[in-house]
Amino acid sequence: MRWYPDRIPDWISSLFPNYTWHKNRSTKTIYLTFDDGPTPIATSYVLELLDKFNFKATFFLIGDRAQRYPELKQQLIDHGHSIGNHTHNHLNAWKTSNNEYLDNVAFAKANTSNKLFRPPYGRVRPGITNALIKEDYEIVLWDVLSGDFDVSRTAESCLKNLMNATRNGSIIVFHDSDKSYEKLQKILPNYFRWLRNRGYKSARL
């Protein structure tokens, strides 16, 4: 049984203003984001598709993977996309001490980003939040979750969710991981066509 919301209502995000949940609701621009990469097969596929549709995106990289695949990280930058920090080892803030977590973020910085941060699982604590803000990080969450990581869901249900939940300014989460690759191949081309046909533009954070 799914325990996560497909879309975060604005009234919830307004209660936590230290995080970026979405962007300007008055313009027909959305923000595609991809977590947990880079991985050779999935990231390369996503890059090719983004180029085909002339969309830009933001990739929240696991530092360890960015260190292992520096050429993929550079391709993301060369293709005009943004990269962000997703910790070095995909840590869960609810199961990690503040010091260990912040050290892991700092260690990932060299291979990711000095500005954008997304906590794995969307989990963070006030002490970590305050420390990261002091380091000038923008902590990016989302208002639309694709569900591509969920083995109990079909690609069709994920696509339907995306089309129902996407709004002006939405920040949408996908995963360029081996686990999500099969679903991405079914979801992304249809979703990208849907976005284009409805006049949405995609920008990087």
Report pLDDT digits (tens) over 16-28. 999 999 999 999 9
Dihedrals phi, psi of 71, to nearest 5 degrees: -70, -35
Which token pair is 180?
A: 């999500």
Task: Report how far apart, in Å, the C-alpha atoms of 132 and of each of 30, 88, 106, 139, 205 are.
Answer: 25, 15, 10, 8, 18
Q: Where are the domains of the chain?
A: 20-202
Count of CB atoms situated within 10 Å of the CB of 75: 15
If pLDDT is split at 50, 70 and 90, which confidence band does 3 have?
low
The whole model's pTM is what? 0.96
101-107: list long-range contacts, CB under 8 Å, 24+ apart: 101/128, 102/128, 102/131, 102/132, 104/63, 105/132, 107/63
Within the chain, what is the greatest distance between any pair of CA atoms? 47
Whether residue 1 has pLDDT greater than 60? no
Q: Does residue 175 carry a catalytic annotation?
A: yes
- Whether the bond into 38 is cis, omega within 30 of 0: yes
| Summary mean pLDDT of the chain | 95
pLDDT in tens, 72-101: 999 999 999 999 999 999 999 999 999 999
pLDDT in tens, 136-163: 999 999 999 999 999 999 999 999 999 9
Catalytic residue among 35, 143, 148, 176: 35
Catalytic residue among 22, 36, 175, 176: 175
- CATH homologous superfamily, domain 20-202: Glycoside hydrolase/deacetylase (3.20.20.370)
- 98 contacts: CB under 8 Å, gap ≥ 6: 125, 127, 128, 131
Whether residue 13 has pLDDT greater than 90? no
